[in-house]
Amino acid sequence: MRVYIGSDHAGFDLKAALISHLRGGGFKVVDVGPASYQPTDDYPGYCLETGRRVVADHGSLGIVIGGSGNGEQIAANKVTGIRAALAWNLQTAQLAREHNDANVVSIGARMHDEATAISFVDAFLSTPFSHDPRHQRRIDQVAAYEADPVDQTLPES
């Protein structure tokens, strides 16, 4: 499986550790950047590009990393077709894939030690989507809105 990974300065060291770990596990890892530590860089470009590459490469997954992971998740989710989830514990990493068929995981490098962050990524990459009809229905509703936000009706309350 191909995995695209992008970060900002806050996630740079964790990105390097994840690349080494994943390549050691047989994943085809593409480093989306940055190529070198830049203490004043901005995360949106790296996260948007990670998302664009995941969408263009069917069957691939992505990882975005920053200080908290919040902004990185938000940026990646601006790419049509991306379902990025912030993993803040093992269960959220697994459920992102199992229930939401997330294709990008966001990690806060300042929130977790390296071993914990690696465990989140391993869980995310190894958990399959359940294909439960109720989860697929919800994913389809979000995708429909993404495709045409004007022509969507709200559920009855």
Identify the active-site residue in 9, 21, 99, 135.
99
Identify the active-site residue in 49, 72, 98, 112.
72
Active site residue 135: no
For residue 86, CA distances in Å to 1, 89, 93, 152, 155 come to 21, 9, 8, 26, 26
Active site residue 21: no
Catalytic amino acids? Answer: 72, 99
